Amino acid sequence: MSLATTIAQYRERANALWLARTEQERRFLTVGGAVVLLAVLYLLLVDPAVEGRAMLRRQLPQLRQQAAELQAMAQEAGALARAPATQIPPITREAVDTSLNSRGLKPQSLAMTGEYIKLQLNNVPFAGLANWLDEQRRANRVLVQDATVTALPTAGQVDASLTLRQNTGAAQ
């Protein structure tokens, strides 16, 4: 049985059902079908567009504010990019030793060669060491090049061997 034959059979049945109805029933069915069709079209096409438009209208002030903030940040970033890079003075052995002692960290050995700092610390609190490294990173642009940290049996205590490098911002 082909598709055309099947469609023709359904059409004949529908036509027979339609003709079996009275004129008043046909009017009711026509009006009811039109109402259902209009409702479906409204729900599928019109309502989503109206709701989307209302949602965009509600969000527009917030989006404009965000756009203004982004523009202000872009201008600030441009100004910072045009500003000359700040030069950090080279760190001295005395400054490193003083900052370590202020944190209660006693270095076993401390050697400086140019922008490199070689440091050996024994039995120091890990939290204090991490805080000191963070402070040096922020204040003096000191970065960890190489680190060996060994945990000790005492909780929170470590032995550390560090090689640090200061980025002074000078052309390399």
Overall residue count recorded for the chain in this entry: 172
- Please, which residues bridge with residue 165 across strands? 116, 143
- End-to-end alpha carbon distance in the chain: 84
pLDDT tens-place values along the chain, 172 residues long? 789 999 999 999 999 999 999 999 999 999 999 999 999 999 999 999 999 999 999 999 999 999 999 999 999 999 988 888 777 888 889 999 999 999 889 999 999 988 899 999 999 999 999 999 999 999 888 999 999 999 999 999 999 999 999 987 654 4
- Please, which residues bridge with residue 46 across strands? none
The pLDDT of residue 144 is 94
The pLDDT of residue 172 is 45
The pLDDT of residue 168 is 72
The pLDDT of residue 170 is 57
Question: Which DSSP string corresponds to the chain?
Answer: --HHHHHHHHHHHHHHHHHTS-HHHHHHHHHHHHHHHHHHHIIIIIHHHHHHHHHHHHHHHHHHHHHHHHHHHHHHHHHHHHSPPPPPPPP-HHHHHHHHHHTT--EEEEEEETTEEEEEEEEEEHHHHHHHHHHHHHHH-EEEEEEEEEE-SSTTEEEEEEEEEE--S---
